[in-house]
């Protein structure tokens, strides 16, 4: 008997796989906080890797926006920030994954924007409230196509860059990450059983800033590709 839902459930959210007609269905979107020292410093903090563990927040898959879209300026903020990030797409389930085995759980890579209501995040920090309304809102996860690791090979370094209206605002290298991809997968998989379809946004380098309606953002990660979005009213 077919299930009688009281309304039609949402279609699975899925990301195109570069050079194919296939789609990567999103299960969860994990985001790493403060994973580049220069960004931690610009946010007024620091990271001591010997004393601290990485931390995470999540975005709902429905916050996904495909590459090339227009992003409506969100409600309840006057300080919408871009955060350009390297993205890892998990293709194989696992818990307590070792650093050595981590690469075997990667389906591919992408790049993405962790769009942030920075004013609401600052208020949440002041009040010791969770970050959800600052980070996990509609259209807040703009993600490029995914390139299969079979095509790209393992990626551990390379330029990560972001331009607004043709002006470079963020420029760093993936090898500046405080916790590299293998370390993140090892750590995150002690907290969650990673599943195919899980996305990890690995944190942003320094140079975050505000955008306004009509601004055009172009992001780039070497070996992965480009990401383009226009902010609209």
Q: Which residues bind Mn ion (CB under 5 A)?
A: 83, 114, 204
Nearest approach, Cβ of 6 to Mn ion (angstroms)?
36
Nearest approach, Cβ of 85 to Mn ion (angstroms)?
6
CA distance 127 to 206: 25
Closest among 111, 66, 107 to 204, alpha carbons compared: 111
Nearest approach, Cβ of 31 to Mn ion (angstroms)?
5
Nearest approach, Cβ of 53 to Mn ion (angstroms)?
17
Closest among 221, 178, 210 to 33, alpha carbons compared: 178
Query: Would you give the distance in Å from CA 198 to the centre of its chain?
Result: 11
63 vs 204, beta carbon nearer Mn ion: 204
86 vs 107, beta carbon nearer Mn ion: 86
Nearest approach, Cβ of 136 to Mn ion (angstroms)?
12
148 vs 185, beta carbon nearer Mn ion: 185
Do strands 141-143 and 64-66 pair parallel, antiparallel, or not at all (unpaired)? parallel
- Give the Cβ contact number of residue 5 at 10 Å: 7
82 vs 107, beta carbon nearer Mn ion: 82
Residue of minimal CB distance from Mn ion?
114
17 vs 142, beta carbon nearer Mn ion: 142
């Amino acid at each position: 008997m077919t299930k009688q839902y009281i309304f039609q459930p949402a279609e699975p959210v899925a990301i195109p796989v570069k050079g194919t007609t296939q789609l990567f269905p999103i299960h969860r979107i994990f985001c790493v906080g403060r994973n580049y020292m220069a960004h931690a410093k610009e946010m007024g903090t620091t990271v001591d890797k010997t004393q601290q563990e990485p931390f995470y927040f999540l975005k709902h898959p429905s916050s996904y926006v495909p590459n090339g879209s227009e992003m409506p300026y969100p409600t309840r903020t006057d300080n919408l920030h871009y955060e350009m990030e390297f993205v890892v797409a998990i293709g194989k389930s696992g818990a307590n994954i070792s650093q050595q085995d981590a690469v075997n759980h990667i389906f591919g890579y992408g790049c993405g924007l962790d769009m942030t209501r920075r004013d609401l995040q600052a208020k949440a920090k002041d009040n010791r409230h969770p970050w959800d309304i600052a980070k996990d809102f509609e259209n807040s996860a703009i993600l490029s196509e995914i390139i299969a690791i079979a095509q790209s090979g393992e990626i551990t370094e390379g330029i990560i860059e972001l331009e607004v209206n043709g002006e470079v605002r963020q420029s760093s290298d993936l090898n500046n990450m405080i916790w590299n991809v293998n370390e993140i997968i090892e750590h995150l998989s002690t907290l969650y059983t990673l599943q195919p379809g899980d996305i990890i946004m690995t944190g942003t380098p320094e140079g975050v800033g505000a955008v306004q309606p009509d601004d055009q953002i172009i992001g780039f990660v070497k070996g992965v590709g480009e990401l383009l979005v226009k902010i609209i009213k």
